[in-house]
Amino acid sequence: QCAAVCPTAAIKVKTNLDKVWRQLYDPGKRVVVQVAPAVRVALGEAFGLAPGEDSIGKIFTAIRMLGFDAVHDTCVGADLTIMEEAKELGEKLESGDDRFPLFTSCCPAWIRFAETKHPDIMPYISSCKSPMEMFGAVLKEYYKDKDKEEGKETISMAVMPCVAKKMEAVRDEFIRDGVPDIDYVITTKELIRMIRESGIQFDEIDPEAPDMPFSISSGAGVIFGVTGGVTEAALRRLVQEKSTQSLRDIKFSGIRGMEGVKEAVLELNGRTLRIGVVSGLGNADNLIEKIKSGEEHFDFVEVMACPYGCIAGAGQPFCHKVDKKERMAGMYRSDKAAPIKRSEENPVIYNLYHGGLLEGREHELLHVHYKGAQPQE
């Protein structure tokens, strides 16, 4: 059965749809929105589509019909995360510091859990912002000049499968010069409500593409929505041999599947890499205790707070385990259909780093130093 509440349990879910609607009707605002990878395989269920059916094109269309000014795919943010996180892992392996593995950082419920329960591992959590926050920073920078020219203010929103993302968006670390990189987070269920309230016939609308210039993302970005996906995407980036066979080797290494704890040992660029993939905070807690006691040793550990990953986030429509399996299969089908499989092959990413707005600003816009546990609201 689906988790009905956020894994951080104590987070109160506040809906802010009235404020979202007000922003959409304000002519002085440019409302831009990004949509997380896992939303595409779940939102359609509310309108009669099968669980796991990728409806991202229809979601983009519906969002434009609701009055948003621009719509983007968070998979671009995931591609950015992979570029930075794979680099960080490579540097950590070179450093020889193997007291703890490098832990992933894209799940805010996991970050909060680590801050409060295992503060000693915080230095080993990747300094990469989550895909939502990376892309949020890039979008706020991108629209700055246009805002000046047109006398508008950009409001950055994000459709997420996740309740904890609402908490992440208001953390001090993601507010630059007094301005948050993400102004509003809308869950998948809230977007469903907006579509219904507007009378949009979701099952009948035609699919559209996201807005330029961020209109291309990779399959690696899509699979962020399932447990094991971040690891698979990072390995695709790190492996030197960029062949179809290397994609298959990573796929069958043991990091895919619905189990709450997965372990894999991989030969990567001439060295042996030990990887842990956990979903569910109880599983994460057990694994960390084993690492601390010396019973287990890993080079890299991916943690997602929700069992099975974001496909089963508390912001998604309710479903049973069999449907979560379908959502997971849907994510991998979308990756299979993607013409670009690796984040570094995405031309949007290349352009951002080479002469684009990220050149020389990677640290400022893409990385975070957590100041410590935040009081719960």
Distance CA 26, CA 82 (A): 36
Return the residue matching tokens 């979202």: 20
Give, for 81, the enclosing helix (H) or strand (E): helix 75-95
Nearer to ligand SF4, 105 or 156 (CB): 105
Residue nearest to ligand SF4 (CB): 313
Q: Mark whether 153 is an active-site residue.
A: no
- Return phi, psi of residue 200, to 5°: -75, 130
Q: Mark whether 85 is an active-site residue.
A: yes
Minimum distance from residue 5 beta carbon to ligand SF4 (Å): 11
Question: Are 141 and 181 spatial neighbours (Cβ–Cβ below 8 Å)?
Answer: no
Minimum distance from residue 29 beta carbon to ligand SF4 (Å): 27
> Using CB under 6 A, which of the segments 49-57, 67-75, 233-241, 304-312 binds ligand SF4?
304-312
- 234 sits near ligand SF4 (criterion: CB under 6 A): no
* Beta bridge pairs of residue 37: none
> Using CB under 6 A, which of the segments 147-155, 156-164, 318-326, 344-352 binds ligand SF4?
156-164
Among 106, 128, 162, 319, the active-site one is 106
Among 45, 53, 84, 85, the active-site one is 85
Reduce the DSSP state of residue 91 to 3 states and report it: helix
**Binding letters toward ligand SF4, positions 160-189, x by CB under 6 A:** -xx-xx------------------------
Among 165, 262, 324, 341, the active-site one is 165
Distance CA 157, CA 181 (A): 9
DSSP string, 166-229: HHHHTSGGGEETTEES-SEEEEHHHHHHHHHHTT--GGGSPP-PPPTTS----HHHHGGGSTTH
Among 29, 87, 88, 127, the active-site one is 88
Distance CA 54, CA 58 (A): 9
- 305 sits near ligand SF4 (criterion: CB under 6 A): yes
Q: Where does this chain bind ligand SF4 (CB under 6 A)?
A: 7, 107, 109, 161-162, 164-165, 304-306, 309-310, 313
Catalytic (active-site) positions = 85, 88, 106, 126, 165, 168, 173, 310
